[in-house]
């Protein structure tokens, strides 16, 4: 999340999601799934998912699940 291109990606993604979430809300929809993926599924996507969760958890009920991230003691 420190790299400039990641910060720009995050800003653009949040702008997009803000737009989508508001459109869903205006249509009285109350569930949406946002999936983030990358080649390995253990670094970039985990960071972005955690960041999104932090951005939206105060306004929405959020759930953050990392399918491919394995804790060291589970490996």
Q: Which of 11-20, 21-30, 39-48 has the lowest mean pLDDT?
A: 39-48
This prediction has a pTM of: 0.79
Q: What tens digit of pLDDT does each residue of 32-54 get?
A: 999 988 776 567 888 999 999 99
Percentage of the chain beyond pLDDT 90 is 61
Mean predicted lDDT score pLDDT of the chain: 87
Mean pLDDT of 9-26: 96
Which residue shows structure tokens 């759930």?
A: 63
Distance CA 23, CA 41 (A): 29
């Amino acid at each position: 999340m420190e790299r400039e291109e990641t910060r720009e990606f995050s800003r653009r993604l949040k702008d997009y999601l803000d737009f989508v979430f508001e459109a869903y809300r205006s249509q009285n929809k109350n569930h949406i799934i946002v999936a983030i993926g990358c080649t390995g599924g253990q670094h970039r996507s985990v960071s972005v998912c955690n960041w999104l969760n932090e951005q939206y958890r105060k306004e929405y009920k959020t759930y953050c699940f990392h399918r491919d991230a394995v804790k060291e003691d589970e490996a």
